[in-house]
Amino acid sequence: MERRSGIGSKSRGLLYRLYQGRLRKQLDPARLPRHVAMIIDGNRRWARQRGLSSTDHGYLAGADVYRDFLVWCDDLGIEHVTLYLLSTDNVAKRPAAELDGLLQIIGDLAEDLSRYRDWRVQHVGSDEGLPDALVSALAAAEARSAANTGMHINLAVGYGGRREIVDAIRTIVREHGRDGGTLEDLADDLTPEKIGEHLYTGGQPDPDLVIRTSGEQRLSDFMLWQSAHSEFYFVEALGPDFREVDFLRALRAYAERDRRLGR
């Protein structure tokens, strides 16, 4: 939607800020999630609806939302955020011409985030099928921010939940073989805790809240293991239209839910 100047838009802006402030006051810091996972979906649709010449415009707008979203999280004291940027299916199925622009945008985003505040950036996913330039950019962002102690940001690039579980089990099997263990011992060793330690996000808390934009209500192979007890919140807005007020509503809804976690 195009922004329009005038008294009407100023009035709407004031009402928006008042509503946003009211939502913030309603949040109980003790009931905020420690880890939020985010799927910004609908970037291509957003670009097409506006008649833009390239889907890159949508990806760039989505990346801007990611930057804002991370600031909102950090300002509220959320400790871990995972952003779903590129799936293994995207790598395998998207046209090369479309992927080229997206891969450059992801590399630039990783570098920007690793230089901002005291954030620690980590690539979660597989390097397989990714161009060397992007692999290098992700590795450089990790190294540059490794000593940072602020918010931990996982960039899910070349990521697939099923692939992650398979990779974790393969690592456990290889380690067990190197140590000379038997198959019987290996069977006993394959516990949920052991597998969790070997996931890409090993050592981190599982996401408490998973948010997805664009009205789609599915995980799309995202954090299948880690989201076993997560709360889900789906937003109708397309990715680039996601606003802080949408995020605050998601947090309010999360705080109102009774998380029994199997109890």
Residues involved in catalysis: 41, 90
Write the CA distances from 186 to 9, 76, 171, 172, 235, integer angstroms. Answer: 64, 43, 12, 9, 43
CA angle 193, 198, 182 (to 5 degrees): 75
Q: For residue 72, with 0-12 CB atoms within 10 Å meaning exposed, 13-18 middle and 19 or more buried, which class applies? A: middle
Write the DSSP symbol of residue 119. Answer: -
> Nearest to residue 237, comparing CAs of 81, 87, 86, 40?
40
Residue with tokens 């799309």: 220
How many whole angstroms separate alpha carbon 83 and alpha carbon 60? 15
